[in-house]
Chain A
Amino acid sequence: MITINQLSKVFQTNNASITAVDKLDLSINNGEIFGVIGYSGAGKSTFIRLINRLEEPSSGEVTIDDQTITALSKKQLRLSRQEIGMIFQHFNLLWSRTVRQNISFPLEIAGVAKAEREERVDELIRLVGLSGREDAYPSQLSGGQKQRVGIARALANRPKVLLCDEATSALDPETTDAILSLLVDINKQLGLTIILITHEMHVIQKICHRVAVMEQGAVVEEGNVVDVFSHPKQSVTKKFVEQVMGKPEEQATDETFMHHVEQGKVLRLHFVGETANQAVISQVAKQFKVDLNILHGNVKQTQAGAYGTLYVQITGEEVEITKAIDHIKSIAVEVEVKGHA
């Protein structure tokens, strides 16, 4: 469990003070992938650096498993940093060292004996899928491979937490997906808590369990990924949702459907979480004497199930339609009847 209590960071410049992180409160459960999303300048990068005190907080507290990081002496902090892995946007590998030597570096710092170090490095190389590239130098690797080295290096001392600072922002979409899958695997295999910051909604949607939206140094919205993104409240959050769902004006409007629908009713089904995985449409079609015609849909998969909307035309006897709608409502899908033909 990671608790962040009233954490603030104020940068002093010659003529002004800039509050990068403003009295931030958060709690992150063990074993979860927690995402922090925000635009550049929202303070998320400062926030993640405050967790391992690469940036010294101006005030507030960070606690990881009963250890108050913000109260540690320099020496204690060095030791506890060995239990906090971190990966970076630009990988930050030592170019003078091979893949193997890079992964070995944190183990050298922790004073692990040579034989044990080599064994652990082999293990990590297999874990991140870099077998065969052990003796390559970073300059000979692709971006995705470099980040794999970064991940292996961060995991070397079996950390309790992994901090990801825009870890996929310098990668192309395909490589991003591969790295994200690797993070999910690691999270499941090792039960590792992962905190990641990003400006890409896609990253949150794909791997996070919970999310916090940051704006001007503060968390403006927080919760399960599906909840936050199926019912965004703040305008920032809405903008981020548009990144993956498209802008409302780009989506077909209700009128467009009405125009084509000559009989029955148009339903707008809103899926949140697990229910989207059930075959709602085919079930209804089998159980009731109605016909269903999918008009338009936009459903995204997240770590905690799917969310999105589906427009369907439903035709049949009035009584059957009513029964069908009641059934859909009973399995917790939100339904809106948009109109009659």
Chain B
Amino acid sequence: MLNTLFPNVKWFDLVIATGETFYMTLIALVGTLILGIALGLLLYLTSKGNVWQNKGLNFIVATVVNVFRAIPFVILILLLFPFTDFLIGTLRGPNAALPALIIGSAPFYGRLVEIALREVDKGVIEAAKAMGAKTSTIIFKVLLKESTPALVSGLTVTAIALIGYTAVAGIIGAGGLGDYAYYYGFQRQASDVLFMCTVLIVIIVFVFQIIGDTITNKLDKR
């Protein structure tokens, strides 16, 4: 019955494409998490009234973040071609999409991290200082620990943006559902393929949202 409803869908290819989308999203998410937290911490700690207060450094980091957030993702991929080629050795396939995905979404997540850190009660940081805590203890045990729910919900938002980015990357040949929808659905005018890919992407988005919300609620003890 499925084959009569979707005559052009090759189910094996669709499974492979879905797998590639998951693969790109998850690996890019890990990279975004690490780079984004580093950027967010740097933005927060160098801002006024914090431990590493440094106007110059703060300005540089903020500018880099803003510039990368301003570049449209399609263009960012093109700009990064030489870098990607050097790093991955190819411009095709899911791995080739990773540098652009991470560099495209880390600045966005970095801003969300900064906002989350700013929400941490200053009094709690002061209490930790009064106990004789080192800066590293304050970063890992107070700042990041106390802001985990916000960090996770920010990561959820970023993950969903990333799924969209993987579809864009697909069009330039990175594989995944975007790639499949474009070449086998749009180019060959097979609307059933286009439809099926859309449904799968929507489902993936929902899955990420539900997982993110569940973790956030579990962590939030406020």
- Quick check: is B188 within 8 A (CB to CB) of the other chain? no
Main secondary structure of the interface of A (DSSP, over half): mixed
> Pick the contact of B127 from A84, A92, A108, A157 — CB < 8 Å?
A92
Contact A109 B222 (CB under 8 A): no
Minimal Cβ-Cβ distance residue in B for A80: B132
Contact B222 A88 (CB under 8 A): no
| A78-B134, A109-B131, A110-B132 known; A92+B126 contact, CB < 8 A | yes
> Pick the contact of A96 from B123, B126, B131, B148 — CB < 8 Å?
B148
Contact B132 A78 (CB under 8 A): yes
| A54-B126, A108-B141, A139-B221 known; A95+B131 contact, CB < 8 A | no
Contact A94 B123 (CB under 8 A): no
Contact B133 A92 (CB under 8 A): no
Tell me the chain B residues, 89-136 only, with Cβ under 8 Å from chain A: 121, 123-124, 126-134
- Quick check: is A296 within 8 A (CB to CB) of the other chain? no
Contact B129 A54 (CB under 8 A): yes
| A109-B132, A109-B133, A110-B132 known; A96+B146 contact, CB < 8 A | yes
- Quick check: is A137 within 8 A (CB to CB) of the other chain? yes
Across the interface, which residues of B come within 8 angstroms of A96, CB to CB?
Answer: 145-146, 148, 219, 221
Tell me the chain A residues, 78-94 only, with Cβ under 8 Å from chain B: 78-82, 84, 86, 88, 90, 92-94
Across the interface, which residues of A come within 8 angstroms of B61, CB to CB?
Answer: none
Across the interface, which residues of A come within 8 angstroms of B145, CB to CB?
Answer: 94, 96-97
Contact B132 A81 (CB under 8 A): yes
Across the interface, which residues of A come within 8 angstroms of B142, CB to CB?
Answer: 94
- Quick check: is B66 within 8 A (CB to CB) of the other chain? no
Interchain nearest-CB distance for B151 vs A (Å): 12
Interchain nearest-CB distance for A310 vs B (Å): 45
| A137-B221, A139-B222 known; A90+B129 contact, CB < 8 A | no
- Quick check: is A288 within 8 A (CB to CB) of the other chain? no
Interchain nearest-CB distance for A86 vs B (Å): 4
Contact B132 A94 (CB under 8 A): no
| A95-B221, A95-B222 known; A90+B132 contact, CB < 8 A | no
Contact B146 A94 (CB under 8 A): yes
- Quick check: is B63 within 8 A (CB to CB) of the other chain? no
Q: Size range of the interface on A?
A: 20 to 34
**Complex alpha-carbon distance, A86 and B124, angstroms:** 12
> Pick the contact of A81 from B131, B137, B148, B222 — CB < 8 Å?
B131
Contact A109 B130 (CB under 8 A): no
- Quick check: is A39 within 8 A (CB to CB) of the other chain? no
> Pick the contact of B132 from A82, A88, A153 — CB < 8 Å?
A82
> Pick the contact of B121 from A52, A80, A81, A92 — CB < 8 Å?
A92
> Pick the contact of A86 from B130, B133, B134, B219 — CB < 8 Å?
B130
Tell me the chain A residues, 41-67 only, with Cβ under 8 Å from chain B: 52, 54
Across the interface, which residues of A come within 8 angstroms of B131, CB to CB?
Answer: 81-82, 86, 105-106, 109, 153, 157
Across the interface, which residues of A come within 8 angstroms of B146, CB to CB?
Answer: 94-96
Minimal Cβ-Cβ distance residue in A for B122: A92
Across the interface, which residues of B come within 8 angstroms of A105, CB to CB?
Answer: 128, 131, 141
**Complex alpha-carbon distance, A138 and B137, angstroms:** 21
Interchain nearest-CB distance for B141 vs A (Å): 7
Across the interface, which residues of A come within 8 angstroms of B221, CB to CB?
Answer: 95-96, 137-139
**Complex alpha-carbon distance, A94 and B134, angstroms:** 16
Interchain nearest-CB distance for B219 vs A (Å): 8
Interchain nearest-CB distance for A157 vs B (Å): 8
Contact B222 A90 (CB under 8 A): no
**Complex alpha-carbon distance, A157 and B131, angstroms:** 9
Across the interface, which residues of A come within 8 angstroms of B133, CB to CB?
Answer: 78, 109
Across the interface, which residues of A come within 8 angstroms of B132, CB to CB?
Answer: 77-82, 106, 109-110
**Complex alpha-carbon distance, A139 and B221, angstroms:** 7
Contact B222 A54 (CB under 8 A): no
Interchain nearest-CB distance for B173 vs A (Å): 44
**Complex alpha-carbon distance, A137 and B148, angstroms:** 16
**Complex alpha-carbon distance, A97 and B221, angstroms:** 8
**Complex alpha-carbon distance, A153 and B131, angstroms:** 9
Minimal Cβ-Cβ distance residue in A for B145: A96
> Pick the contact of B130 from A52, A108, A139 — CB < 8 Å?
A52
**Complex alpha-carbon distance, A259 and B123, angstroms:** 57
CB 8 Å contact bits of B154-180 with A (1 = contact, 0 = none): 000000000000000000000000000
Across the interface, which residues of A come within 8 angstroms of B123, CB to CB?
Answer: 88, 90, 92
**Complex alpha-carbon distance, A79 and B127, angstroms:** 15
| A79-B132, A86-B130, A106-B131 known; A92+B222 contact, CB < 8 A | no
Across the interface, which residues of A come within 8 angstroms of B134, CB to CB?
Answer: 78, 109
Chain B residues in the interface with A (C-beta under 8 A): 121, 123-124, 126-134, 137, 141-142, 145-146, 148, 219, 221-222
Q: List 23 A-B contacts (CB under 8 A).
A: A52-B130, A54-B126, A54-B130, A81-B131, A82-B132, A84-B130, A88-B126, A92-B123, A92-B127, A93-B127, A94-B124, A94-B146, A96-B145, A96-B221, A97-B145, A105-B131, A108-B137, A108-B141, A110-B132, A139-B221, A139-B222, A153-B131, A163-B130
Instruction: Across the A-B interface, give the 6 residue pairs with the lowest CB-CB distance, nearest first.
Output: A81-B132, A92-B127, A92-B123, A82-B132, A106-B131, A137-B221
